[in-house]
Chain A
Amino acid sequence: MNALRRLYFLAVALFLAAPLLVVAGVSVNEKQDLTFPPRGFSLAWYAQIFTDPEWRAALFHSLTLAVCSAALAVLIALPLAWFLWRRIAPWANVFQVLGLAPFILPPVITALGFLSFWATLGLFGQFFTAIVSHAIFFVTLPLVTLSLGFASIDRSLVEAAATMGADDRTVARTVVLPLILPYLISGYAFAFVLSLNEYIIAYMTIGFTTETLPIKIFNALRYGYTPTMASVSVFFVAVAALVFGSIARFGDIRRLLGALSSEDS
Chain B
Amino acid sequence: MRREPPRSPADYAPLAFPALMLIVFFVVPFSIMIAVSFFKRDPAGFYKPDFVFDNYARFLSAFFGEVLGFSLMLAVTVAACCIVVAFPFTYLLTKRPRRVQTVWLVGLLSVLSLSEVIIGFAWSTLFSRTAGITNLFVAVGLMSEPVALLPTFGAVLTGMVYQALPYTILVLYPALVRLDPTMTEAARTLGASPMRAFFNVVVPALRNTIVATLIMVFVFALGSYLLPQILGRPRHWTLSVLITDQAIYQSNMPFAAAMAVFLVLISLSLVGLTLLVGRRENAA
Which residues of A are at the interface with B, using a C-beta cutoff of 8 A? 1, 5, 8-9, 12-13, 15-16, 18-20, 22-23, 25-26, 33-37, 75-77, 79-80, 82-83, 85-89, 92, 95, 98-99, 101-102, 104-117, 119-120, 132-133, 135-136, 139, 155, 158-159, 162, 168, 171, 190, 193-194, 197-200, 203-204, 207, 214-215, 217-218, 221, 229-230, 233, 236-237, 240-241, 244-245, 247-248, 253-254, 257-260, 262, 264-265
Q: Check B18 against A204 for contact (C-beta < 8 Å).
A: no
Q: Which residues of A contact B166 (CB under 8 A)?
A: 16
| Nearest chain B CB to A69 CB, angstrom units | 12
Q: Check B115 against A197 for contact (C-beta < 8 Å).
A: yes
Interface segment among B24-32, B57-65, B182-190: the answer is B24-32
Q: Check A106 against B113 for contact (C-beta < 8 Å).
A: no
Q: Which residues of B contact A133 (CB under 8 A)?
A: 25
**Mask: chain B, 162-194; 1 = CB below 8 Å from A; 0 = not:** 100110001001110110000000000000001
Which residues of B are at the interface with A, using a C-beta cutoff of 8 A? 1-6, 11, 14-15, 17-19, 21-23, 25-30, 32-33, 36, 46, 85, 88-89, 92, 97-98, 101-103, 105-111, 113-126, 128, 130-133, 135, 162, 165-166, 170, 173-175, 177-178, 194, 219, 222-223, 225-226, 230, 240, 243-244, 247-248, 253, 256-257, 260, 263-264, 267-268, 271
Q: Which residues of B contact A258 (CB under 8 A)?
A: 173-175, 177-178
**Nearest residue, chain B, Cβ from A75:** B17
Per the bound structure, the CA–CA distance linking A133 and B36 in Å amounts to 19
Q: Which residues of A contact B19 (CB under 8 A)?
A: 80, 95
**Nearest residue, chain B, Cβ from A208:** B248
Q: Which residues of A contact B106 (CB under 8 A)?
A: 241, 244-245, 247-248, 253
**Nearest residue, chain B, Cβ from A37:** B135
Q: Check A117 against B32 for contact (C-beta < 8 Å).
A: yes
Cross-interface CB contact of B107 among A16, A89, A95, A109, cutoff 8 Å: A16
Q: Check B247 against A204 for contact (C-beta < 8 Å).
A: yes
**Nearest residue, chain B, Cβ from A114:** B29
Q: Is the interface of A mostly helix, strand, loop or mixed?
A: helix
The 9 closest A-B pairs by CB, nearest first: A258-B174, A106-B223, A117-B29, A36-B131, A19-B122, A113-B29, A80-B18, A197-B115, A79-B14
| Nearest chain A CB to B90 CB, angstrom units | 10
Q: Check A34 against B257 for contact (C-beta < 8 Å).
A: no
| Nearest chain B CB to A262 CB, angstrom units | 7
Q: Could you write out 24 A-B pairs with CB less than 8 Å apart?
A: A19-B122, A36-B135, A80-B15, A83-B15, A87-B5, A87-B6, A99-B22, A106-B222, A106-B225, A107-B225, A108-B240, A109-B243, A109-B260, A115-B247, A135-B25, A136-B26, A139-B21, A197-B115, A199-B116, A199-B226, A221-B120, A237-B118, A253-B102, A254-B177
Q: Check A233 against B29 for contact (C-beta < 8 Å).
A: no
Q: Check B110 against A265 for contact (C-beta < 8 Å).
A: no
Q: Which residues of B contact A253 (CB under 8 A)?
A: 102, 105-106, 109
Q: Check B135 against A155 for contact (C-beta < 8 Å).
A: no
Q: Which residues of A contact B110 (CB under 8 A)?
A: 237, 240-241, 244
Q: A79-B14, A114-B29 are in contact. Are A199 and B115 (CB under 8 A)?
A: yes
Q: Check A76 against B22 for contact (C-beta < 8 Å).
A: yes
Per the bound structure, the CA–CA distance linking A85 and B4 in Å amounts to 10
Q: Check B247 against A25 for contact (C-beta < 8 Å).
A: no
Q: A115-B247, A254-B101 are in contact. Are A197 and B222 (CB under 8 A)?
A: no
Q: Check B194 against A1 for contact (C-beta < 8 Å).
A: yes
Per the bound structure, the CA–CA distance linking A171 and B2 in Å amounts to 13
Q: Check A254 against B105 for contact (C-beta < 8 Å).
A: yes
Q: Which residues of B contact A25 (CB under 8 A)?
A: 131
Q: Check B85 against A12 for contact (C-beta < 8 Å).
A: yes
Q: Which residues of B contact A105 (CB under 8 A)?
A: 219, 223, 264, 267-268
Per the bound structure, the CA–CA distance linking A168 and B132 in Å amounts to 61
Q: Check B101 against A265 for contact (C-beta < 8 Å).
A: yes
Q: Which residues of A contact B257 (CB under 8 A)?
A: 112, 116
Per the bound structure, the CA–CA distance linking A71 and B248 in Å amounts to 29
Q: Which residues of A contact B175 (CB under 8 A)?
A: 258
Q: Check A22 against B240 for contact (C-beta < 8 Å).
A: no
Q: Check A20 against B122 for contact (C-beta < 8 Å).
A: yes
Q: Check A5 against B92 for contact (C-beta < 8 Å).
A: yes
**Nearest residue, chain B, Cβ from A198:** B115
Q: Check A155 against B18 for contact (C-beta < 8 Å).
A: no
Q: Check B46 against A119 for contact (C-beta < 8 Å).
A: yes
Cross-interface CB contact of A22 among B2, B114, B122, B219, cutoff 8 Å: B122
Q: Which residues of B contact A162 (CB under 8 A)?
A: 1
Q: Which residues of A contact B26 (CB under 8 A)?
A: 98, 101-102, 110, 113, 136
Q: Which residues of B contact A200 (CB under 8 A)?
A: 116, 225-226, 244
